[in-house]
Amino acid sequence: MKENTKINWPINILVAIGTLIILFPLYMALTIALKDPQQMSQSLFGLPTKWRFDNFANAIEVTNFFQAFRNSALVTTATVVLTLLTNSMVAYAIGRNMERSKFFKGLYFYFVSAMFIPFPIIMLPIVKLTASLHMTNLVGLTILHTVYALAFNVFVYVGYIRSIPVALEEAATVDGASTWGTFWRIIFPLMAPINATVGILVCLSTYNDFLLPLIIVSDQDMYTLPLVQYIFQGQFNTDYNLAFASYLLAMLPMIVIYLFAQKWIISGVTRGSVK
Amino acid sequence: MRKWGSACLAGLLIILTLAACSGGGNNASGVVELEFFQNKPEAKGSFDKLVAKFNEQHPNIHVSQVNPPDAETVLKTRVVKDDIPDIIGLGATDTYSLLAQSEIFLNLTNDPLLQNIDPKYVQMLTDVTGMQEVTGVPFALNASGVIYNKDIFQKLGLSVPKTWDELIATAKKAKEADVIPFYFTYKDDWQTNLPFNDMGGTLVGIDFYKERRENKTTFQSAYQEVAKKQLELLNYGHSDNFGKNYADGNRAFGNGESAMYIQGSWAISEIRKVNPDINLGFFPLPGSNDEAQNKLTAGVDTLLAISNQTEHPEEAKQFISFLLQPENSQQYIDEQNLFSSVDGVQQKDESVSGLLPYFEQGKIVDFVDHYIPSAVQLNPTVQAFLQNKDINAFLGTLDKEWDKVAARRAS
Amino acid sequence: MSKRMSTYYWMTIPAVLLFFLFLTLPAIQGVYYSFTNYNGFGKTYDFIWFRNYINLFTDNVVGDAYWFTIKFAVVVTIFVNVFSLLIALGLNASIKFRNFFRGIYFLPNILSVLIVGYIFNYLFSNVFTVWGQSLGINALSTNILGNENLAWIGVVIVAVWQSIALNTILYLAGLQTISKDMYEASSLDGAGKWREFWSITFPLIAPFFTINMVLAMKNALMVFDQIVALTNGGPGRATQSISFLIYTGGFEGGEFAYQSANSVIYFIVIAVISILQIRFLQRREMDM
């Protein structure tokens, strides 16, 4: 199909023009981060005449970038791993039993309905609760992210699990495999595509989350990247060049991952929604 | 299978326990650890220096400064967590009032710490909280008014206006000379309350709020003139008054784009970051044509309070008393362009020299918004008013919101 | 059998307990507080039962926030779906560098909403205004985020710019499930593109339409980060969304109980809209 269809040039050009709208703000961010205030007043849109990497060096130093990056990376990785292992299992038990058991059907709606709970309503009680459990740290943050992910993930996983034929498990059961073993050895590997989707979505939402770390984490050594951007906003609000350098640094890890894993990320998200 | 299941449950419980254990801090060395929480990001560096000096002088005490983003919200969540910092520095705002009324601060009435503090400023705190007890020590003061570019004033032959009519005449002359008279930064709603504060203080005064609490008066009847004059000022702005924010304004004013800038003293250091050589002056916004009535708007920028839960109140007081030493107070206000509450400590920066007579003569009045509950949402209300220019609707909204909030708080 | 079932129970029970502890319990506490006059951190509070709810319904600030949020959500949902469907159709046509373009259109989805908001905030005040001035267009020469009547459009632009990414990819996935044979087999051979779209393409991607409508609507109803980064609810209260009002009123304003009551109502509104939407769109899917 690919080879013998004619290229539709008018549409091709329209699509290309559309990407300019997507890229323009990022282009501006990049050039502002590389200029100094004088260059900005000379030419707002042009490429920098002198590349000022000082802005990045300053931003790294001022925001203690590497520590914040380490914190963000730790929380994101731990949350993704924990979410994939636990949420898939919960969804499996629900997906396989909700047709015949009221209990599991009830659980399904219990988890999924939480998608509609606005975060502000639980914000204050959560602050009290996590403080009394001494969870005002990165571990607490990881646990909360994992637990809150259940609502959406149960919805996504159950849809997928129900599309996997039961015959496979029945065959395994006949061979004497336990439910537990069946899940980890047969079903979990089959869930790789949906795991990729959930993993990507959890990774993005955890990495970019701002409000939960803000209210949970008290120790400044544990601040994540978005929190640090927030401090920056108040502290250096006249220095746009420095601020933009810092924004780019905070977005950079995700953009780098995206550059290398772009196809995989997009197809993961796509496959997940096809269910 | 059951084994696996319980292993899983156990695993989760272990994670929880680990989380629980890694939380608590400890110190075994016999050094008293004190946490000093303050809400001004721009003052972090100055406090760092003072804290380091204190720690050096007091080997048995170790103070660490905490200055999180969005500090007031963080402080409220800390209070919710029952994890109140030992020493707290914040402005004398509605947040302070709410926290003081929740009785989380140590009672400092008649404490020796207040000995060298001007009683005017202590009274500002009790006025804000409406309480008898003194629960904070005023440390630094800020002022609000009009910052002006001395070079532009000289070039246009302008002088510092002393009355409302002179102010408008000055603005007119600048406009005729094609210079932006005032650089308004009304994209940020809190910027719109500055003229409101300045004129509310001189034209209406603080007592209005005591009467308003008792329902003896209304904004509708008392604030007509303030509203009218605030609208008039808008005629002397630039082409995009609602499109520029505080940061834009500091840059524009720093680059000499306007003659005047209605702003607080806190902006001076920001402006100088943009243009270190700028020649600045500062005068109170003259709301009235009666020169004697015009006062400087000045309030407590930072007060120091001690948690009533702290295990080390004596050491906390030692730290506060250290900050109040004239030498240290001087260092702080010099770096931050603020004014000191300590007797005899003076701000010598020439940009604000025009304000000193007001402090000396006590011709100052607090920021009126310190007396307005934050749930009334003064700032967005003023911002909306400046756009739709409907004075009666504006004052009506303030009265209505005030009553609503009062009803909710009382119920 | 019972052994199997017990494994299933063990798989879910720890999660249920944690979920209850960290989500349900706090939500119940929130509802509980909505019947009090608790300010969030004081030592004491009283029960005032339905007073908060009665006050809510007479509070025009709350009403305005609902009006803004719903207006915003409807407009964003429509624009996001129209644009992402168009882009997806373009990407699905026979074009060169399809994967490259697809990669760029999806890029905004991986970026932090807060930071994107900060970037656009700068563009609105310092770049678009410069264009407006040099082109001599008055409407563009001032910052629209500073205009009481137009600020919400600025927030819509940023939300649409970022939300298009995910919805485009989902539509594209839907379009790729349609094989070429479908068009050839249909009796509409030779019919116009327009007709082909409405009679073949659209019905076949109807499930994706449902997902996209619900997703876009739900995200738009929860709008928060964009408001913080772009307008802080202003000018005036012109762009105060419901969740922003709950946050500012509940924390900064110290009216936690009152805003808890607001979030109970908000929860009901979001749940009702989502359920209605799913019901309605699923029925249409069946019809098609």
| Residue C75, amino acid | V
Taking each continuous run of H as one helix and of E as one strand, the counts in chain B are 18, 10
Residue B152 lies inside a defined structural domain of this protein: yes
Q: Is the pLDDT of residue A86 over 70?
A: yes
Examine the domain organization and report whether A37 and A81 are in the same domain: no
Q: What is the DSSP string of C213-237?
A: HHHHHHHHHT--HHHHHHTTT-STT
Instruction: State both tokens at B271.
Output: 């402006």
Residue B19 lies inside a defined structural domain of this protein: no
Examine the domain organization and report whether A184 and A61 are in the same domain: yes
Residue B5's pLDDT band, with cuts at 50, 70 and 90, is very low
Examine the domain organization and report whether A47 and A121 are in the same domain: no
Residue B328 lies inside a defined structural domain of this protein: yes
Q: What does the pLDDT read at residue B157? A: 93
pTM recorded for the entire structure? 0.82
Residue A226 lies inside a defined structural domain of this protein: yes
Residue B411's pLDDT band, with cuts at 50, 70 and 90, is low
Q: Out of A20-34, A226-240, B139-153, C55-69, which region has the weakest mean confidence (pLDDT)?
A: A226-240
Give the minimum alpha-carbon distance from C149 to chain A in angstroms, rounded to a whole number: 24
Q: What does the pLDDT read at residue C86? A: 92
Q: What does the pLDDT read at residue B8? A: 47
Examine the domain organization and report whether A42 and A120 are in the same domain: no
Domain tally, chain B: 2
Query: For residue A238, which residues of chain B lie inside 8 Å, CB to CB?
Result: 247, 250-251, 254, 270, 273-274
Examine the domain organization and report whether B114 and B170 are in the same domain: no
Examine the domain organization and report whether A192 and A266 are in the same domain: yes
| A 54-113 residues with CB < 8 A to B | 86, 89
Query: For residue B8, which residues of chain C lie inside 8 Å, CB to CB?
Result: 10-11, 14
Q: Is the pLDDT of residue B69 over 70?
A: no
Residue B36's pLDDT band, with cuts at 50, 70 and 90, is very high
Residue B12 lies inside a defined structural domain of this protein: no
Residue B388 lies inside a defined structural domain of this protein: yes
Q: What does the pLDDT read at residue B24? A: 37
- Across the interface, do A230 and B1 touch by the CB < 8 Å criterion? no
DSSP B331: H
Domain extent listing, chain C: 70-287
Name the residue in chain C with its Cα closest to that of A15. Answer: C90
Examine the domain organization and report whether B398 and B269 are in the same domain: yes
Q: Give dist(CA C242, CA C224) in Å, integer.
A: 8
Examine the domain organization and report whether A39 and A98 are in the same domain: no
- Across the interface, do B380 and C4 touch by the CB < 8 Å criterion? no
Examine the domain organization and report whether B268 and B326 are in the same domain: no
Q: Out of B243-252, B320-329, C150-159, which region has the weakest mean confidence (pLDDT)?
A: B243-252
Highest mean pLDDT among B9-18, B248-257, C142-151: B248-257
Query: For residue C125, which residues of chain B lie inside 8 Å, CB to CB?
Result: 187, 243-245, 248
Q: Give dist(CA C238, CA C250) in Å, integer.
A: 19
Examine the domain organization and report whether B289 and B153 are in the same domain: yes
Partners of chain B (3+ Cβ pairs below 8 A): A, C
- Across the interface, do B19 and A143 touch by the CB < 8 Å criterion? yes
Residue B20's pLDDT band, with cuts at 50, 70 and 90, is very low
Query: For residue A29, which residues of chain C lie inside 8 Å, CB to CB?
Result: 119
Residue A27 lies inside a defined structural domain of this protein: yes
Examine the domain organization and report whether B292 and B158 are in the same domain: yes
- Across the interface, do C118 and A7 touch by the CB < 8 Å criterion? no
Instruction: State both tokens at A239.
Output: 């220095």
Which helix (H) or strand (E) segment holds residue B61: the answer is: strand B61-66
- Percent of chain B at pLDDT > 70 equals 92
Q: How many CB atoms lie within 10 A of CB B246?
A: 19
Length of chain B: 411
Name the residue in chain C with its Cα closest to that of A24. Answer: C123
Q: Is the pLDDT of residue B177 over 90?
A: yes
Examine the domain organization and report whether B91 and B161 are in the same domain: no
Examine the domain organization and report whether B169 and B316 are in the same domain: no
| Domain CATH number, residue A77 | 1.10.3720.10
Instruction: State both tokens at A258.
Output: 């995206």
CB-based contact (8 Å) between A261 and chain C?
A: no
- Across the interface, do C115 and A226 touch by the CB < 8 Å criterion? yes
Q: Give dist(CA A225, CA B279) in Å, integer.
A: 38
Say which of C9, C18, C236 has its CB closest to residue B12. C18
CB-based contact (8 Å) between A127 and chain B?
A: yes
- Across the interface, do A8 and C127 touch by the CB < 8 Å criterion? no
pLDDT digits (tens, 9 = 90+) for C226-267: 898 888 887 888 899 988 888 888 777 678 888 889 988 988
Examine the domain organization and report whether B322 and B357 are in the same domain: yes
Of A117, A118, A202, A116, the closest CA to residue A157 belongs to A202
pLDDT digits (tens, 9 = 90+) for A194-212: 888 888 889 988 999 888 8
- Across the interface, do B240 and C129 touch by the CB < 8 Å criterion? yes
Examine the domain organization and report whether A60 and A14 are in the same domain: no
| β-pair partners for B305 | B88
Residue A235's pLDDT band, with cuts at 50, 70 and 90, is low
Q: Out of B65-69, B219-223, B357-361, C149-153, which region has the weakest mean confidence (pLDDT)?
A: B65-69
Residue B344's pLDDT band, with cuts at 50, 70 and 90, is confident
The pLDDT of C174-200, averaged and rounded, is: 73
Q: What does the pLDDT read at residue C191? A: 63
ω before A253 within 30° of 0 (cis)? Answer: no
The pLDDT of B289-316, averaged and rounded, is: 93
Examine the domain organization and report whether B249 and B304 are in the same domain: no
Residue A4 lies inside a defined structural domain of this protein: no
CA-to-CA separations, C93 to A274, B115, C185, in angstroms, rounded: 20, 80, 19
Q: What does the pLDDT read at residue B2? A: 44
pLDDT digits (tens, 9 = 90+) for C97-149: 888 898 899 999 889 898 899 899 888 888 888 887 777 777 777 888 888 88
Examine the domain organization and report whether A223 and A238 are in the same domain: yes
Task: Let me know: does C36 contact C45? Beta carbons within 8 Å.
Answer: yes
Catalogue the long-range contacts made by A107-110 (C-beta closer than 8 Å, 24 or more residues apart).
A107/C12, A107/C16, A108/A154, A108/A158, A110/C16, A110/C19
Examine the domain organization and report whether B289 and B201 are in the same domain: yes
Strand pairing of B87-90 and B32-38? Answer: parallel
Examine the domain organization and report whether B269 and B378 are in the same domain: yes
Domain tally, chain A: 2
**Domain housing A29:** 9-52
Residue C282's pLDDT band, with cuts at 50, 70 and 90, is confident
The pLDDT of A229-240, averaged and rounded, is: 68
Q: What does the pLDDT read at residue B14? A: 53
Residue B20 lies inside a defined structural domain of this protein: no
Give the minimum alpha-carbon distance from B379 to chain A in angstroms, rounded to a whole number: 18
| Residue C73, amino acid | A
Average pLDDT across chain B, whole number: 87
Between A and C, how many residue pairs show a Cβ–Cβ distance under 8 A? 223
The pLDDT of B195-216, averaged and rounded, is: 92
Q: Give dist(CA B351, CA B294) in Å, integer.
A: 20
pLDDT digits (tens, 9 = 90+) for B260-288: 999 998 888 888 888 889 999 999 999 99
Residue B304's pLDDT band, with cuts at 50, 70 and 90, is very high
- Percent of chain C at pLDDT > 70 equals 93
- Across the interface, do B81 and A131 touch by the CB < 8 Å criterion? yes
Query: For residue C105, which residues of chain A lie inside 8 Å, CB to CB?
Result: 18-19, 22
pLDDT digits (tens, 9 = 90+) for B77-127: 788 777 889 999 999 988 898 889 888 999 999 999 999 999 989 999 998
CA-to-CA separations, B88 to A15, A173, B296, B318, in angstroms, rounded: 56, 64, 27, 14
Name the residue in chain C with its Cα closest to that of A87. Answer: C15
Average pLDDT across chain C, whole number: 84
Q: What does the pLDDT read at residue A66? A: 92
ipTM of the complex: 0.84
Q: What does the pLDDT read at residue A41? A: 66
Residue B150 CB-density burial (10 A; 0-12 exposed, 13-18 middle, 19+ buried): middle
Q: What does the pLDDT read at residue A272? A: 56
Q: What does the pLDDT read at residue A90? A: 93
CATH code for the domain defined by C70-287 = 1.10.3720.10
Q: Give dist(CA A116, CA C217) in Å, integer.
A: 12
Q: Is the pLDDT of residue A238 over 70?
A: no
**Domain housing B152:** 143-298+369-410
| Domain CATH number, residue B197 | 3.40.190.10
CB-based contact (8 Å) between A38 and chain B?
A: no
- Across the interface, do B243 and C143 touch by the CB < 8 Å criterion? yes
B210 vs B407: which has the higher pLDDT: B210
Examine the domain organization and report whether B252 and B170 are in the same domain: yes
The pLDDT of B149-164, averaged and rounded, is: 94
Residue B317's pLDDT band, with cuts at 50, 70 and 90, is very high
Q: Is the pLDDT of residue B27 over 60?
A: no
- Across the interface, do C10 and B404 touch by the CB < 8 Å criterion? no
CB-based contact (8 Å) between B251 and chain A?
A: yes
Examine the domain organization and report whether A135 and A43 are in the same domain: no
Query: For residue A6, which residues of chain C lie inside 8 Å, CB to CB?
Result: 94
Strand pairing of B137-149 and B296-306? Answer: antiparallel
| A 115-154 residues with CB < 8 A to C | 115-126, 129, 143-144, 147-148, 150-151
Q: Is the pLDDT of residue C173 over 90?
A: no
- Across the interface, do C170 and A119 touch by the CB < 8 Å criterion? no
